[in-house]
Amino acid sequence: MIAIVDYGAGNLASVRKAFQAVAADVRIVRDVADLGLPSGIVVPGVGHFGATSALGPAWREAIAGHASAGLPLLGICLGMQWLFEASDEAPGCPGLGLLTGTCFRLAPPASGVRLKVPHVGWNQFERLRPSAALEDVADGAHAYFTHSYAAPVGAETSAVTTHGQPFAAVVERRAVWGTQFHPEKSGGVGLGILRNFVALTSRAGQR
């Protein structure tokens, strides 16, 4: 079973429907006491980074422990940003710290070109390194984004997108994955990534 965490900031119905479309057994979990021992955890999210403060110490311990055990964890949009150490959007609100870096507000390039923020709509991502998350997903594919802040490009970045400046579109550190875009709104490309995550949870359960 894959647990989708409900902390009041996620597009839960669409995420659940997308997972069901790839034949995944999913359950929305609102209380950490009901989390149990899922084969995978999904942290979705839209909106302000401060909303992640609802994921208090018990949630942080449970999710970090799940990841430390080598079990699959997927962060989507705001949920991916929360996997990092912090965000400039809410300086007093720490991230989970599983990935290195601080999320930043998208800004126009030094040339002064006008830039629409939030970044909303379809954009292309470029693969930087081999990625289990992007297996069978074409390089240069397009996905649906809606965000004003983004994660930095680093060693854990599997794919990058540019909107004013480059940012991490897909991150991957062993079984910890994240997408800045919304796979549940990204058609066949997004379903392919979710299918890969479901396959990862199946392999983890066989260990």
Mean pLDDT of 80-96: 97
* Helix (H) or strand (E) run with residue 95 in it: none
The CB-side HSE value for 206 (13 A sphere, CA atoms) comes to 6
Q: How far is CA 39 from CA 81, 94, 152, in A?
A: 22, 26, 28
Catalytic site residues? 77, 182, 184
Residue range 186-207, pLDDT digits in tens: 999 999 999 999 999 998 765 5
Q: Mean per-residue pLDDT for 170-194?
A: 98
Count how many domains the chain has.
Answer: 1
Sort 16 into a burial class: Cβ within 10 Å, 0-12 / 13-18 / 19+: buried
Measured CA angle at 31 (ends 73, 3), to 5 deg: 30
pLDDT at 154 over 70: yes
Residue 75 has pLDDT above 90, yes or no: yes
Q: pTM for this structure?
A: 0.96
Mean pLDDT of all residues in 89-116: 91
Q: Give the CA dihedral 8, 89, 96, 119, nearest 10 degrees.
A: 70
User: Where do the DSSP E strands lie in the chain?
Assistant: 2-5, 26-29, 40-43, 73-76, 86-87, 102-105, 119-124, 126-127, 142-147, 149-150, 157-163, 165-173, 176-179
Domain that holds residue 25: 2-205
Report the chain's mean pLDDT, rounded to a whole number.
95
Q: What is the CATH number of the domain that holds 125?
A: 3.40.50.880
Measured in degrees and rounded to the nearest 5, phi and psi for residue 40 equal -155, 155
103-152, pLDDT tens digit by residue? 999 998 776 778 999 999 999 999 999 999 999 999 999 999 999 999 99
pLDDT for position 108: 83
Tens digits of per-residue pLDDT, 62-74? 999 999 999 999 9
Distance between CA atoms of 181 and 90, rounded to whole angstroms?
20
The owner of tokens 């550190």 is 173
Weakest mean pLDDT among 38-42, 70-74, 158-162, 201-205 = 201-205
Q: What is the pLDDT of residue 203?
A: 82
